[in-house]
Amino acid sequence: MHKKIVYIISCIFLCVVVAMYILSSVSVVQTVVEADNAFVTINFITPMEQANFDEHIKIVPAFADPEDINIQTKWINENTLALLVTETGDIKGQNVDLIISNADSTYPFINKNRTIHISFDSTIQVLEPTEQILIASDNSFEVHFNTPIALDSIQKYLQSEAAFDIEPLNSSKITEDLEATKFKFTPKTELENNKLYSIVFKKGLTSSSNNILEQSIEIQVLTDQEPTISKISPENDSKWVGLYPKISITAEVPIKEANLHTQNGVLSGEVISDYKAVFYYDDILTPSTYYENYIQIISHSGEKSKMYPLNFNTVPVKDDRIWITITQEEPSMLRVYQGQTVVREIGCSMGEDISAYQKGTYYVLEKGETFLEPTQKIGANKYLTLSEGIVIHGPKRDEYWNIIESSISQLGHKQTGDNVVISEEDSIWLFENIPYDTMVIVK
């Protein structure tokens, strides 16, 4: 008797569980798709709580952002919901999962869960590029479609005189099919410079929604001309190049990048205008040494120039030769060398208006006892003028020739102006010991 009761109770419990499962999972769905609209009707079998139902709806598009799928809901009766699901973004004709999770029915402990698969429909269009594009001869380019297309369909219906490796750039968030809306095309061999290539997606190309292209689509790709350099300074095979040369180039076309290939690696140039770039070595070069370099520029399309040789010999530095280095990093320091030996270290201040591009090798062209800047009425004792106009001088003085105290207290840090400021004692020493044509390196 006891076993019979247990059996009956177990059967009742099982029936209840099965009934609850059926009530939770079973619903009747009808879906009608018209282009980028899907009309979905769901009969949940049980009456539903309607107040917060929208909070239990999640949309998962295969390619678009969820924000690009609009959902409108309308209850037909207590059991039946009508939804209008619309693709509003650029991506059309994709698969979309409409997920309903833990939606409350009016029956206790009965929640509804259902995933509804929607396959939208769309004609095939190219979103990008819509106009002729300019690329480097060895660069990739992208083609964006408005609808998912399988990779093998792209490969089958592509026509071009050039061969390309084609790579999908996005993938479905729903299926594992090898389909995409964005593809990267990479030339298998370098293309010819300054040549127009026609890329045709032929009639018959089929989208993932089985929409067939009825008229071929052509895009045009123009390869850029090879950029050229019209001037390099110092010139190739120069002799007596300074130990910290400012290497500059002038290009025939606008450039985005310039590189100096040295024996120790590649130095990136500073592009200072559309057509000009400058290079500086990381360290001071070795005297009486032959350096072998190559310069290459890159245009805005990514097109690379040929390698331009830049070979030179640095100046010799005899044991008794006097020369100077000035480091701009704070605290700034001026060092006087005799041969390879430092004979004096001088704290200095760089003028705020001295550009980062004024690094390089200069020479002392002029020396003087005093100077006065007529506009600002600021002067100094003992000065050295370098090539390209940089002046090294003692503390700044006002029009009454009184020392401006901040000029002394700020030594080692930047000061206003475009000169190099040192102490009175050091300015006298430089004036008396530094000859004309002394090499001065600013780095």
Domains along the sequence of the chain with CATH: 2-119 (2.60.40.1220), 126-223 (2.60.40.3710), 229-314 (2.60.40.3780), 322-442 (2.40.440.10)
- The residue ranges of the chain whose pLDDT is under 70 are 1-26
Q: Which pTM value belongs to this model?
A: 0.74
Q: What is the pLDDT of residue 4?
A: 59
For residue 192, report the phi and psi dihedrals to the nearest 5 degrees.
Answer: -75, 145
What confidence score (pLDDT) does residue 41 get?
A: 96
**φ and ψ of 24, to 5 deg:** -75, -35
Classify residue 179 by burial, with Cβ atoms within 10 Å: 0-12, 13-18, 19+.
Answer: buried
Residue 180's pLDDT is 98
- Contacts of residue 30, defined as CB under 8 A and 6 or more positions apart, other chains included, come to 40, 41
User: Regarding beta strands 238-241 and 308-314, do their DSSP bridges make them parallel or antiparallel, or are they unpaired?
Assistant: parallel
Task: Please tell me the predicted confidence (pLDDT) of residue 17.
Answer: 40
Predicted local distance difference test score (pLDDT) of residue 335: 95
What's the rounded Cα separation, in Å, for the pair 171 and 64? 11
List pLDDT tens digits, range 72-131: 999 999 999 999 999 999 999 999 999 999 999 998 888 999 999 999 999 999 999 999
* pLDDT given for residue 321 in this prediction: 93
In this prediction, residue 223 carries a pLDDT of: 98
User: Which residues, 6+ apart, have CB-to-CB distance to 136 below 8 Å?
Assistant: 223, 224, 299, 301, 302, 303, 304
Amino acid, single-letter form, for residue 357: Y
pLDDT at 1: 54
d(CA 241, CA 315): 6
Across 410-435, b (16+ Cβ under 10 Å) vs e yields: ebeebbbbebbbbbbebbebbbeebe
The DSSP annotation for 103-159 comes to EEBSSTT-EEEEEEEEE------EEE--S-EEE-TT--EEEEEEEEEEHHHHHHTEE
Q: In what order do the strands lie in the sheet with 28-34?
A: 28-34, 37-43, 80-87, 69-75
Confidence (pLDDT) at 26: 61
- Could you tell me which residues come within 8 angstroms of residue 43 by beta carbon, excluding any fewer than 6 positions away? 27, 28, 29, 79, 80
Provide the pLDDT for residue 358: 85
The dihedral sign for the CA sequence 154, 158, 163, 164: negative
Instruction: Calculate the average pLDDT of the chain.
Output: 91
| Phi and psi at residue 437, to the nearest 5° | 70, 15
Compute the distance between CA of residue 185 and CA of residue 167 in angstroms, rounded to an integer.
7
The residue whose two tokens read 């530095």 is 317
pLDDT of residue 15: 45
Give the dihedral sign, CA 429/241/286/271. positive
| Residue 395 DSSP code | S
Helix, strand, or coil (residue 19): helix
